[in-house]
Structure 1
Amino acid sequence: MATGDELTAALRESVDRPYTFMHICGTHEAAIARTGLRSVLPEGLRIVMGPGCPVCITPQGEIDAALEFVDKDCIVATYGDLLRVPGTRGSLESSGGDVRVVQGIHKAVEIAEKTDKEVVFISVGFETTVPTVAATLMGRPPENFSILSCHRLVPPAMQWLLEQGEASLDGFMLPGHVCVVAGYEEYEQFPVPQVVAGFEAEDILLGLLMLVKQVQEGRCEVENAYPRAVCREGNRKAKEIMYGVFEPSDVEWRGFPVIPASGLRLKPEYECYDAQKKFDIEIQHVEKTRGCICDRVLRGVAQPTDCALFGKVCTPRTPVGPCMVSHEGACKIWNLYHVRHL
């Protein structure tokens, strides 16, 4: 691979007009901010963030459902990023219930094996994390274990963004982690330049250069700038396991409406592990928090510093919206690295 300096020089020579590309991965945003990559990009080349943080796109209604499990005296287990995401009446961290941070579903199952209490795992994530969850459920955990499936699929959200056209995008940088599992065949349906990119500064610069070249040459295809980890078909075994346990469903994303076939629910043969059905909990739509612009940040039409609450009322310790909570959330990333503008 060319060096960062060589790729930066090539970009500066190539950019002949304004370009706007969107990435859909919180790890990409963290890498861009940490390395100060935007400061070396040629004028007119913008890379904006999209709905690439699975915690951030979890709607408030699902957080409220997690709090209902606390009310029912369940042990609630989940990833640390989800603890301080605000619900209508507080967060899991402030709930006063038995809420435990785990590194994955297997640790939540270990808790269930050592107690008679009901254990509910709040299971979030894109295609990257679903196969592990599916494999664990295939192993038939104890009867006192269940999950709230908050999983999402990336391609349907991309389709929604393209249909709206509100961000005026020239192309997408596809999420490397997701594509390791899912591959990129499904993205070939979209008539827009796309490049799968890794997470080093050179990976991202190469991805941007390839996107610019596609636009200039009038091509709309999926190119792979991350072949050391990603292939077109992805991990077939992981996908077989995932779709052996889950099936697509219509779900709401935070900042988006209900997007058809963009979520994953348990298949009938695994419904005994569906916490929502087990405890008869209905997920309600909740209107967004006044003043918070997480919804617009997740759609790529605003940046964190456009928000009047950013770094003032809304901080990582006192978050108003989820983008200030997760380590993959744009607001928390910008706050950490003191980013003030694109």
Structure 2
Amino acid sequence: MMEDKRLCYSHLDSIRDTAGKLAGSVTLMEICGGHTNVIMKYGIRKLLPDNVRLISGPGCPVCVASQYDIDCVIELAGRGVPVATYGDMMRVPGSVKSLDGAKAEGGRVFEVYSTTEVIKIREKHPDIIFFGVGFETTSPMSAFLISNDIPVFSVHKLVPPAIKALLAEGAAGITGFIDPGHVSTIIGAKAYRDIKSPQVISGFTPEQVLRSVSILLELIVDCREEVINCYPEAVSEEGNEGALELLASRFKVADSSWRGLGVLPDSGLEVRDEGLDARLIHQDILSGVAEPLKTGCMCGQVLKGLLEPNQCPLYRKECTPTDPKGACMVSEEGGCAIYYRYGK
């Protein structure tokens, strides 16, 4: 513990020294709910120099699912299609209700913690579908279900295209990125190499995050648009080749709709086998789902780093963890829920 503290102080000294060499202010974005949690829990933002701003991006897998896709799955559940999904998705609000609400009204909705549970549920509900949510980290589990002939409604997203979209839009003025650790264990450091921005892949301890900030600032000072892997104990250059092969066999890359970012080209995973794509199997039901109306929730702006959660007019008023109005307040990795947890 004392060694960790010593390293944290050492990295903070390096951060201050390097920040003094910057030509002006910089904005760094982390794209992982786990990193956001560590940063908020240990007050890392408050420790940084005034010219170094750290913001959160679209790092919550539940949060980036589009409102329309959520409404589609709620409609399926309400029309008698048995739906299984992970716990975080149960409480994410749709336009009218959540999957929890659909279940309370008689919908066949099953909250699961592993894909093996879905296979067991199929014994009694042979027409079960799985609502596949998440980044590259969780998508292999959906691929496993497809391999077992269970249809998947995929809203799986790919992180590198989102980084490119944020850079292209430029609204948040991002100077460099702290790339997600868990996602990177699957896709490897090479997945970020064609992105023209300073980047560091980070672990999840306070010491690792501070070290990543320090190295990221050095890249910025030296004008180096490179990717530095500061999490080599878990992340390789090539990634998890077995998982990537499984994904490629069951999914194809396709355009995908993100909350806050809109439709991004080649940013999602679509089921290859049309007979196991829940969207196509139930397109007769889904054809009647309307595009959602805009609400006062500012999740999209939070995910793009344009607003802090406490700048949303609903935050801590109409929107709380017990009564969430937006996805960012539901998941433990959501920026609004993390802010709320640490009293911001």
1:125 alignment partner, SS class: coil
Residue 286 of structure 1 is aligned with which of 279, 292, 310? 292
Gap change, CA 1:133 and 1:117, over 3 Å in 2:
closer
Shift, 1:51, TM fit: 0.8
Gap change, CA 1:92 and 1:188, over 3 Å in 2:
same
Identity level (%): 39
Residue 40 of structure 1 is aligned with which of 24, 47, 61? 47
Gap change, CA 1:116 and 1:58, over 3 Å in 2:
closer
After superposition, where does 1:41-56 map in structure 2 within 5 Å?
Answer: 41-56=48-63
Contact 2:91–2:330, Cα closer than 8 Å, also in 1: yes
**In the alignment, does 2:316 pair up with 1:311?**
yes
- Name the counterpart of 1:272: 275
Q: Which amino acid aligns with 2:276?
A: Y
Residue 26 of structure 1 is aligned with which of 33, 46, 50? 33
Contact 2:63–2:327, Cα closer than 8 Å, also in 1: yes
Provide the aligned length of Structure 1 versus Structure 2: 331
After superposition, where does 1:118-267 map in structure 2 within 5 Å?
Answer: 118-138=127-147, 140-141=148-149, 145-267=150-272
Shift, 1:61, TM fit: 0.6
1:151 alignment partner, SS class: coil
Contact 2:146–2:152, Cα closer than 8 Å, also in 1: no
- Name the TM-score, length of structure 1 as normaliser: 0.93
Q: Which amino acid aligns with 1:102?
A: V
Residue 10 of structure 1 is aligned with which of 14, 18, 22? 14
Q: Distance in 1 between matches of 2:200 and 2:303?
A: 20
Gap change, CA 1:117 and 1:231, over 3 Å in 2:
closer
Q: Distance in 2 between matches of 1:242 and 1:40?
A: 40
Which range moves more in the overlay, 170-179 or 65-74? Answer: 65-74
- Name the counterpart of 1:100: 110
> What stretches of structure 1 of length at least 5 have no aligned partner?
none
Residue 326 of structure 2 is aligned with which of 304, 316, 321? 321
- Name the TM-score, length of structure 2 as normaliser: 0.93
Q: Distance in 2 between matches of 1:296 and 1:287?
A: 16
- Name the counterpart of 1:73: 80
Q: Distance in 2 between matches of 1:35 and 1:48?
A: 15
Q: Distance in 2 between matches of 1:76 and 1:266?
A: 17
Deviations, residues 220-267 of structure 1 (Å, cap 9, x unaligned): 100011011001111111101111110011111011121011111111
> What stretches of structure 2 of length at least 5 have no aligned partner?
none
1:78 alignment partner, SS class: strand
Contact 2:55–2:305, Cα closer than 8 Å, also in 1: yes
Gap change, CA 1:110 and 1:200, over 3 Å in 2:
same
Q: Distance in 1 between matches of 2:231 and 2:126?
A: 45
Contact 1:74–1:117, Cα closer than 8 Å, also in 2: no
Q: Distance in 2 between matches of 1:313 and 1:73?
A: 31
Alpha-carbon RMSD: 1.5
Q: Distance in 2 between matches of 1:213 and 1:31?
A: 22
Gap change, CA 1:265 and 1:92, over 3 Å in 2:
same
Q: Distance in 2 between matches of 1:216 and 1:51?
A: 26
1:263 alignment partner, SS class: strand
Deviations, residues 26-46 of structure 1 (Å, cap 9, x unaligned): 111111112222222222211
2:100 alignment partner, SS class: coil
Residue 88 of structure 1 is aligned with which of 95, 108, 111? 95
Shift, 1:116, TM fit: 4.0
Shift, 1:117, TM fit: 5.0
- Name the counterpart of 1:109: 119
Deviations, residues 167-220 of structure 1 (Å, cap 9, x unaligned): 111100000100000012121111210000011101110110011000111111
Q: Distance in 1 between matches of 2:29 and 2:7?
A: 23
Q: Which amino acid aligns with 1:10?
A: S
